[in-house]
Amino acid sequence: DQQVKQNSPSLSVQEGRISILNCDYTNSMFDYFLWYKKYPAEGPTFLISISSIKDKNEDGRFTVFLNKSAKHLSLHIVPSQPGDSAVYFCAAPSGNTPLVFGKGTRLSVIA
Amino acid sequence: NAGVTQTPKFRILKIGQSMTLQCTQDMNHNYMYWYRQDPGMGLKLIYYSVGAGITDKGEVPNGYNVSRSTTEDFPLRLELAAPSQTSVYFCASSEGTVGSQYFGPGTRLTVT
């Protein structure tokens, strides 16, 4: 049973517009969330994180929002650039498992 | 710093063969991990280690073994390879349990 769900396998966005990637989780005990970005033929790289004591964390063009009551988080990228085209994974530490990952969302930013 | 390095980058195995995937990190991290990623799926944890001499199973440990004799190295052993082990394997390391993990570039393994 998936504890971290990314229900959109893919997303296409025009360059300069906002990209919104969504992630839902089932375990209300999760208190820390991470987003990773992955380019083809490379390992994932850490992008941004958020603790459950916050509802927003911003780093340049990237902002993560956390809605604990809805068990939902989202990653906003503004403005989107072609170099942002990648697969984005949502992840959270879960009990004895260091990180549980969602299936990922492939973002394509079209110039 | 090279970060996390993995060898080989690609490998084709026949069913029943064995091999070891190598992983080395130069960041002096205590925590190291092995994941596999199947097409269209997220990363699944195979094994992890919290320090030299200590390893523990992840979500999908069957068919694999690990050892951690040094802080730097965390090899993953496949015994009796099966087609179900065809996947991309990633090694990662981190300073602690909370916080970001640093990933290697991956090993693409095909078992035929």
Q: Residue A50's beta-bridge partner residues?
A: A33
CATH of the domain at B49: 2.60.40.10
**Interchain CB distance below 8 Å, B105 and A42:** yes
Q: What is the pLDDT of residue B62?
A: 96
Quick check: B88 pLDDT over 90? yes
State the residue range of the domain holding B32.
Answer: 4-94
For residue A27, what is the DSSP state? -
Q: What is the pLDDT of residues A29-65, one digit of tens each?
A: 898 999 999 999 999 999 999 999 999 999 999 999 9
Please report residues of A whose CB lies closer than 8 A to that of B92: 43
Q: What is the pLDDT of residue B96?
A: 82
Question: Which of B6, B24, B37, B59 to substitute to test the interface with A, most A CBs within 10 Å?
Answer: B37
Cβ(A55)–Cβ(A66) under 8 Å? yes
Q: Which residue of B has its CA nearest to A47?
A: B100
Nearest-5° Cα angle at B99, B95 to B104:
65
Say if B61 falls within a structural domain: yes
Q: What is the pLDDT of residues B34-79, one digit of tens each?
A: 999 998 888 999 999 999 999 999 999 999 999 999 999 999 999 8
Q: What is the pLDDT of residues B101-112, one digit of tens each?
A: 999 999 999 999
| Minimum distance, in Å, between the CA of residue A86 and any CA atom of chain B | 13
Number of structural domains chain A divides into? 1
* Residue the block writes with tokens 């973002």: A107
State the residue range of the domain holding A54.
Answer: 4-110
Q: What is the pLDDT of residue B21?
A: 98
Closest C-alpha among A67, A97, A57, A62 to residue A81: A62
| Minimum distance, in Å, between the CA of residue B78 and any CA atom of chain A | 21
* Residue the block writes with tokens 């987003």: A35
Strand B76-78 relative to strand B54-57, pairing: unpaired
**pLDDT tier at A73 (50, 70, 90 boundaries)?**
very high
CATH of the domain at A34: 2.60.40.10
